[in-house]
Structure 1
Amino acid sequence: MDKVKLVGYFRELKHGLRDGPSLKEAVEKGNYAAEKTELLAYLKEGVLYAAAPGVGVDVLDSTGKLSGVAHALTDGKWMWPADLAYYVEFYNVSLPEDFLGDLRKRKWKMPSADSIDLLEIERSIFGEG
């Protein structure tokens, strides 16, 4: 299996990557047109890879508005935080074209949970141990 690819782990998020893309720079740069509904549904339907305690706070809104949870979701090839859908919906953040291209090829259909080997994903991230 190829190594699972990460998307949406913006560096400003508590659960983001230090060298991840900037959320602030991605705001209002998403070009999804008529695909936004399908994109949001796909992001929300991801298979749970890891549950995270607590809730996320919108890092772009000083009022403390909740952004969701930081659970890690996957489709077997990509992994993203569950609150990515929130930032796409409310801030129209841009996402990598190779991610969007894969979703288009799948016709926005999430693979069944049974077809996703979570242990294989773990090995692709952490190695054989």
Structure 2
Amino acid sequence: MLKRFGFFEESSRREALQDLRELQMMGPLDEEDLVLQYLSEGTMLFEANSDAYDRLMDDSVMIGPPDVYSDGEWCWSGDVLYYIRNYHIAVESQFFDWMQRNNWKCPKIVSAEALVQSNWLT
């Protein structure tokens, strides 16, 4: 099962705000640019047909679609990059350690469809 990070749109506004504030207090990371590069290189698993909104504002700032990306071990919502760039949130320590072990190079997924089928009910 894929480990998940940054699915703030799935949480209630209060829960998302609490999670984001905690991650914000842990950041910024010295390796923020490396984290952003890694996340940007992920393979898209799902294309969202809705938009995400900034949970740290008043939900009036549209971020864009919360597409889902993966490296084969972790998956994350595309809006995580927005929060890292604009609010300098940290990522979970296990995810950070995983990126570091991969030398900041996001593994390419050969078959995104097979990964999706093995991890989600469709």
TM-score (norm 1): 0.77
Name the aligned partner's letter for residue 8 of structure 1.
Answer: G
**Which one-letter code corresponds to 1:119 in the other structure?**
A
Q: For 1:1-129, list aligned pairs within 5 A.
A: 3-10=1-8, 13=9, 16-17=10-11, 22-33=19-30, 35-62=31-58, 64-114=60-110, 116-126=111-121
Q: Deviations over 1:19-58 (max 9, x none)?
A: 887223322422411x111111111221110111132211
Structure 1: gaps of 5 or more residues: none
Q: Is the 8 A contact 1:68 1:86 kept in 2?
A: no
Contact 1:69 1:83 in 2 (8 A): yes
Aligned residues: 119
CA RMSD after TM alignment = 2.4
Cα displacement string for residues 76-128 of structure 1 (whole angstroms, at most 9, x for unaligned residues): 000000010111111112221110001001111111232x55424432344xx
- Unpaired segments of 5 or more residues in structure 2? none
Pick the structure with more helix per residue.
2
What is the Cα deviation at residue 4 of structure 1?
0.8
Q: Give the 3-state SS of the residue equivalent to 2:103 in structure 1.
A: coil
Paired with 2:11 and 2:59, the residues of 1 have a C-alpha distance of 24
Give the TM-score taking structure 2 as reference length. 0.81
